[in-house]
Amino acid sequence: MLRTRLLTASILLVVVGLSLFWASPPVWEGLVAGVMVWAGWEWAGLAKAVFWQRCLYALTLLLFYQFGRETVWQNLWMEVSLVFWIALVPLWMKRQWRIGGTPLLAVGLLVLLPTGWSLTLLQHQGNLVLLALMAVLWISDSAAYFTGRAWGKHRLAPAISPGKTWEGVAGAWLTVTIYGAIWWWLARTGASSMTQLVNHLGWAWFPLIWGLVGLGILGDLFESWIKRCAGVKDSGRGLPGHGGVLDRIDALTATLPLTVLSIHLLGGA
């Protein structure tokens, strides 16, 4: 299982890298659009939609993604999304609310659309910027997994995701802090788009990546709860060892709006 998981992750990393660095920008936007369709299909499945409803929902999500790119609309949608993740989702997890059908489909628009737009907007900041920021979540997820397996004793949310532990959370934060410190050091001498961003953010760089770790874990827990309510282990079966595409972007859905809004607030492009 671990070998399959690592192999799939390696293939995904190659696909993302090739799309970012060796293909034209429209290729990346096309890849993001494909992810939106795939994620919409899986989300509708979690809402117990039938085949034609899943197709319609995926198409609707794609149309919103393609034709809702006005800056004012995107900013408003991402601000609402950030409030949703910071204020509502923790309460949702505490109360363990159960919803399905049309209400869950509506929540899916709030979760998935800002993710797609953010993937495009961050790519405009620079390919390396997007890759390095997504790596924060990949490193956090991997560190939490291996640290939790090695030393995990205290369950983080046993009713939602029994495998997650506080020791895993600590391992994720420590590893991401080291990763952030490496970029902080590189920013002193480098001239890439990512080092320029780190220099621009200054000390806010560390609170940003710590916030990404926390929201990433929250996003993971939220999707785990939605899957538990739907009675499934994975959102899909398209990615061997990982489940579906939602199982891979769950942390991104919670963190990317924070990233885009933070860069914008601190004077980024």
From the list 135, 147, 214, the residue with the least C-alpha distance to 179 is 135
pTM: 0.88
- pLDDT score, position 240: 55
- pLDDT score, position 248: 82
- pLDDT score, position 203: 87
For residues 142-165, one letter each, b for 16 or more C-beta atoms within 10 angstroms of the residue's C-beta and e for the rest, the string is: bbbbbbbeeebeebbbeebbeebb
Q: What are phi and psi of 161, to 5 degrees?
A: -145, 90
For residues 242-269, one letter each, b for 16 or more C-beta atoms within 10 angstroms of the residue's C-beta and e for the rest, the string is: bbbbbbbbbbbbbbbbbbbbbbeeeebe
- pLDDT score, position 58: 95
The one-character DSSP state at 86 is I
SS3 for 233? coil
Q: Percent helix, strand and coil across the chain, each rounded to 5?
A: 80, 5, 15
- pLDDT score, position 251: 87
CA distances from 58 to 62, 154, 257 (A): 6, 39, 21
Instruction: Show the domain range for 93.
Output: 2-265
Per-residue pLDDT in tens (0 to 9) along the chain, 269 residues = 556 666 666 777 777 777 777 767 788 888 889 989 989 999 999 999 999 999 999 999 999 998 877 777 888 888 999 999 999 999 999 888 898 899 999 999 999 999 999 998 888 888 888 889 989 998 998 899 889 888 978 888 888 888 889 999 999 999 999 999 999 999 887 678 899 889 888 888 999 999 999 999 999 999 989 999 888 887 777 555 556 788 888 889 999 888 888 887 775 54
Count: domains in the chain: 1
- Mutual angle of helices 51-67 and 101-125, in 10-degree steps: 40
